[in-house]
Amino acid sequence: MKRRSTYRVCNGELSFWSHESETCGLPMNFSVFMPPARGPVLYWLSGLTCTDENFMVKAAPFRKAAELGLALVACDTSPRDTGIQGEDREWDLGSGAGFYVDATQQPWAPFYQMYSYVVDELPKVVESNFDVVKGVRGISGHSMGGHGALVIGLRNPNLYRSLSAFSPISAPSKCPWGEKAFGAYLGDDRSNWRAYDAHCLIGESDWDRPILVDQGLNDTFLHEQLMPEQLVSAAERAGKNLDLRYHEGYGHSYYFVQTFIEEHLAFHAGFLIR
């Protein structure tokens, strides 16, 4: 691993790293906040166009995380500089837009394996190199990252103890962002998309704990791209404990995330810290 930078913050340490990823076949970046005392890890997945820095720079999570004793880990949102022609051409496909799926289609498949990277490789790297409580994990995220967090949590209830999201893409199989990305990464057979669609998975998952989701009502992507009502309906049919909170006046930005991040951290701590 290569340390990119380190900062002292709220009596803890924030550091930025790169490492050679076996899963993605090239270097990947991630960031870690270590609280003053050893603790479990909350993994954060960011949204379209973001890197491993956005959450750490914009969400202001450190004071509360340090108080609670939570380590925070954020990864990049896609592989970078793969050599794929046109990977940087569009903001919602390719670089910065990995959608936390394991691509099966060319030219993406050799590198865009973000689901396996987040679920399998990144926790091994973190738990091997940082003094965290091993095997005790929560997951959260924003927008595309909220979609990723919901999918990963619902598919792996044995690996994560807590799950939340901000403004998630709740039904990617039905929205323009998801249709574009899934078609490119997973192919035209929509039956293969279900494995990465939270509103499809929530009724099939063994997840048996509360799920916290916050959504701003002034979010410009609310109706066309995010579709939280699809997640709510599916959760109600399945009898899942989904607490989806709507907030007047809030949009899609990290100002919204920053407003409610401490409540999410406390929510996760309730499951991760015994």
Tens-digit pLDDT profile for residues 8-19:
999 999 999 999
Per-residue pLDDT, 274: 78
Which of 76, 219, 264, 268 is an active site residue? 219
Q: Any idea where the domains of the chain sit in the sequence?
A: 2-272
Buried b (16+ CB within 10 A) or exposed e, 136-165: bbbbbbbbbbbbbbbbbbbbbeeebbbbbb
**Residue closest to 170 by CA, chosen among 192, 191, 152, 143:** 143
On the question of pLDDT at 203 being above 90, the answer is yes
Per-residue pLDDT, 177: 98
Per-residue pLDDT, 206: 97
* CB within 8 Å of 146: residues ≥ 6 apart: 45, 47, 140, 165, 166, 167, 168, 169, 213
Q: What is the mean pLDDT of the chain?
A: 98
Per-residue pLDDT, 21: 98
CA 53 and chain centroid, separation: 13
CATH topology of domain 2-272: Rossmann fold (3.40.50)
Per-residue pLDDT, 252: 98
Q: What is the mean pLDDT of residues 60-76?
A: 98
Which of 143, 162, 167, 170 is an active site residue? 143
Is 252 assigned a catalytic role?
Answer: yes
Is 143 assigned a catalytic role?
Answer: yes
CA 61, 3, 119: angle at the middle one, nearest 5? Answer: 60
Q: Radius of gyration over alpha carbons of the chain, in Å? A: 17
Q: What is the pLDDT of residues 163-175, one digit of tens each?
A: 999 999 999 999 9
Q: What is the pLDDT of residues 126-151, one digit of tens each?
A: 999 999 999 999 999 999 999 999 99
Per-residue pLDDT, 182: 98
Query: Which pTM does this prediction carry?
Result: 0.97
**Residue closest to 95 by CA, chosen among 62, 49, 131:** 49
Three-state SS across 102-116? ECCCCCCCCCCEHHH
Confidence of residue 52 (pLDDT cuts 50, 70, 90): very high
Q: Are 151 and 198 in contact (CB under 8 A)?
A: yes
- Cα separation, 136 vs 129, whole angstroms: 15
Q: What is the pLDDT of residues 213-244, one digit of tens each?
A: 999 999 999 999 999 999 999 999 999 999 99
Is 76 assigned a catalytic role?
Answer: no
Per-residue pLDDT, 113: 98
CA 46 and chain centroid, separation: 5
φ, ψ of residue 9 to 5 degrees: the values are -155, 130
Element at 15 (helix H, strand E): strand 12-20
Confidence of residue 73 (pLDDT cuts 50, 70, 90): very high
Confidence of residue 100 (pLDDT cuts 50, 70, 90): very high
Element at 238 (helix H, strand E): helix 228-238
Mapping DSSP to helix (H, G, I), strand (E, B) and coil, where does residue 45 land? strand
